[in-house]
């Protein structure tokens, strides 16, 4: 939002009010894990180097995650999903994956997942996302925690 031209051609937003409310909940029970989160964000009171075409931006979204330890301490299946209704676009993702803990402990994990993304709203320095990404991502990883 603070980049030149983000809201209007050749205009830079210098300041804005940021208001956000969110709620989340999660539960674990006998190998099951469920979590969800919802948020609503408003940006307004823009101070800019020129006129902007909006007085406020509102976006809302949710996230969910569910997993199950199919083989306790060894094999976990999971799914994750999110949806954002932005002022200019909608974006969403759905993920399905598997974690394998070869030694039955948390310190080593093998992971494979499929991510279907529609207009990623974020970019990640080390992850799988580039802002605006559309498509399917296959990832395989091995993690060792010391």
Q: What Rg, from alpha-carbon coordinates, does the chain have?
A: 19
Secondary structure (DSSP) of 3-69: STTSSSTT--EEEEEEEEEEEEEEEEETTEEEEEEEEEEEEEEEEESS--S-SEEEEEEEEEEEEEE
Assigned domain for 2 exists: no
The parent domain of residue 63 ranges over 13-144
The pLDDT assigned to 31 comes to 95
The reply to whether 7 falls in a domain is no
Indicate whether 3 belongs to any domain: no
| pLDDT band, residue 6 (cuts 50/70/90) | confident
For residue 43, is pLDDT > 70?
yes
Q: What is the pLDDT of residue 125?
A: 66
On whether residue 75 sits in a domain, the answer given is yes
Domain assignment present for 6: no
DSSP tag of 91? E
Q: What is the pTM of this model?
A: 0.83
Q: Is the pLDDT of residue 75 over 70?
A: yes
Per-residue model confidence as pLDDT tens digits over 90-116: 999 999 999 999 998 889 999 999 999
Tell me which residue has tokens 């020129």.
50
Position 57 pLDDT exceeds 90: yes
Q: Reduced to 3 DSSP states, what percent helix, strand and coil does the chain have, rounded to the nearest 5?
A: 0, 65, 35
Mean pLDDT of 18-24: 97
């Amino acid at each position: 939002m603070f980049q030149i031209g983000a809201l209007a051609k050749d205009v830079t937003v210098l300041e804005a009010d940021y208001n956000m409310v969110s709620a989340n909940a999660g539960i674990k029970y006998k190998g099951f894990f469920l979590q969800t989160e919802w948020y609503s964000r408003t940006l307004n009171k823009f101070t800019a180097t020129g006129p902007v075409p909006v007085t406020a931006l509102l976006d809302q979204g949710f996230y969910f995650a569910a997993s199950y330890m199919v083989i306790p301490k060894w094999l976990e299946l999971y799914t994750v999903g999110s949806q954002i209704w932005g002022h200019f676009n909608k974006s969403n993702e759905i993920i399905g994956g598997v974690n394998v803990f070869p030694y039955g402990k948390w310190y080593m994990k093998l992971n494979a997942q499929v991510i279907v993304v529609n207009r990623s709203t974020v970019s990640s320095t080390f992850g799988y996302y580039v802002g605006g990404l559309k498509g399917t991502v296959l990832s395989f990883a091995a993690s060792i925690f010391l």
